[in-house]
Chain A
Amino acid sequence: MLTDATLRHLQEVAELPHDIGERYTSLRRAGSGGMGTVFCADDTLLGRKVAIKVVAAHATAPEAETIASLEHPGIVPVHDRGVLEDGRTWYAMKYVDGRTLHDIRGTTPLPRLLQIVRQTCDAVAFAHSRGVVHRDIKPQNIMVGSFGETLVMDWGVAANSGDATAHPAGTRGFAAPEQLEGATPDPRADVYSLGGVLRFVIGEKAPRALEAICAKATAHAPRDRYADAAAFGADLVRYLDGLAVEAHRENALEVMQRWLANNRAIAALVVAYIVMRVVLFIFSP
Chain B
Amino acid sequence: MTTAAARFPTTGLSLVARLGSEEREVRIAAFDRVVELYWKPIYKYLRLAHRKSSDDAKDLTQSFLAYALEKDFLAAYDPAKARFRAYLRMCADRFAANDAKAASRQKRGGGAEHVDFDAAENELTAGSGAEPDVVFEREWIRALFERAVAIVRERWQGKPALLAFERYDLGGEPRPSYQEIADELRVPLTTVTNHLAAVRRDFRAVALDILRETTATDDEFRDEARRLFGSKAV
| A58 proximal to B (CB < 8 A) | yes
With a cutoff of 8 Å between Cβ atoms, the chain A residues found around residue B229 in the complex are: 11, 14-15
Report chain A residues within 8 Å CB of B15.
none
Contact B232 A14 (CB under 8 A): no
Q: Bound state CA distance, A56 and B226, in angstroms?
A: 11
Q: State in angstroms the CA–CA spacing of A22 and B142 once bound together.
A: 32
Chain A residues with Cβ under 8 A from B200's Cβ? Answer: 13-14, 16, 18
B62 CB → nearest A CB, Å: 20
Q: Which of A3, A7, A10, A86 has the most CB of B within 10 A?
A: A10
Query: In the bound complex, do residue A35 and residue B170 qualify as a contact, i.e. CB atoms below 8 Å apart?
Result: no
* CB-based contact A18/B146 at 8 Å: no
B234 interface residue per 8 A CB criterion? yes
Provided the pairs A1-B123, A7-B145 are in contact, do residues A56 and B232 lie with their beta carbons within 8 angstroms?
yes
Residue A32 interfacial (CB < 8 Å):
yes
A18 touches B145 (CB 8 A): no
B19 within 8 A of partner (CB): no
Given contacts A2-B170, A36-B231, A36-B232, are A14 and B203 in contact (CB under 8 A)? yes
Residues on B with beta carbons closer than 8 Å to the beta carbon of A36: 231-232
A85: CB under 8 A from chain B? yes
The answer to whether A86 and B172 have CB atoms under 8 Å apart is no
| Interface size bracket, A side | 20 to 34
B89 within 8 A of A: no
Is there a chain A Cβ closer than 8 Å to B49's Cβ? no
Residue B149 at the chain A interface, CB threshold 8 Å: yes
Q: A14-B207, A16-B200, A19-B197 are in contact. Are A32 and B8 (CB under 8 A)?
A: no
Interface assignment of A6: CB less than 8 Å from any CB of chain B? yes
Smallest CB gap from B202: residue in A = A14
A3:B205 contact, CB within 8 angstroms: no
A99 to B29, CA, bound (A): 52
Closest Cβ of chain B to A109, distance in Å, is 34
Interface bits A263-276 vs B (CB < 8 Å: 1, else 0): 00000000000000
Quick one: given A6-B170, A19-B201, A86-B201, are A56 and B145 in contact (CB under 8 Å)?
Answer: no
Asked if B169 contacts A10 (CB within 8 A), the reply is yes
Q: Mark A220-255, 1 if CB is under 8 A from B, else 0.
A: 000000000000000000000000000000000000
**Residue B52, interface by CB 8 Å:** no
Residues 61-84 of chain B: 1 if any A CB is under 8 Å from the residue's CB, otherwise 0? 000000000000000000000000
Q: Does B192 contact A (CB under 8 A)?
A: no
| Contact call A10/B233, Cβ cutoff below 8 A | no
User: 8 Å CB contacts to B: which residues of A6-41?
Assistant: 6-7, 9-11, 13-16, 18-19, 22, 25, 29, 32, 34-37
Given contacts A18-B200, A86-B205, contact A7 B138 (CB under 8 A): yes
B201 touches A2 (CB 8 A): no
Residue B60 at the A interface, CB < 8 A?
A: no
The residues in A between 41 and 82 inclusive whose CB is less than 8 angstroms from any CB of B are 55-58
Please tell me if B92 contacts chain A, counting CB pairs below 8 Å. Answer: no
A residues 200-237 near B (Cβ < 8 Å) are none
In the complex the two chains form, is B232's CB within 8 Å of A55's CB? Answer: yes
B4 at interface by CB-CB < 8 Å: yes
Instruction: Note all chain A residues with C-beta closer than 8 A to B190.
Output: 22
Within 180-224 of B, Cβ neighbours of A (below 8 Å) are at: 190, 193, 196-198, 200-201, 203-205, 207, 222
- Say how far B79's CB is from chain A's closest CB, in angstroms: 19
Given A1-B119, A13-B169, A16-B197, 7 more contacts at CB 8 Å?
Answer: A7-B141, A11-B230, A18-B197, A22-B190, A34-B232, A56-B233, A85-B7
Residues of B within 8 A of A (CB): 4, 7-8, 119, 123, 128, 138, 141-142, 145-146, 149, 169-170, 172-173, 190, 193, 196-198, 200-201, 203-205, 207, 222, 228-234
Q: A residues touching B (Cβ–Cβ < 8 Å)?
A: 1-7, 9-11, 13-16, 18-19, 22, 25, 29, 32, 34-37, 55-58, 85-86
**Which 5 A-B pairs have CB atoms at the shortest separation, nearest pair first?**
A18-B197, A32-B231, A37-B231, A14-B204, A56-B232
> Can you list 17 contacts pairing A with B, beta carbon distance less than 8 Å?
A2-B146, A5-B173, A6-B169, A7-B141, A10-B203, A11-B229, A14-B200, A15-B204, A15-B229, A16-B200, A18-B201, A19-B197, A35-B232, A37-B232, A57-B234, A86-B7, A86-B8
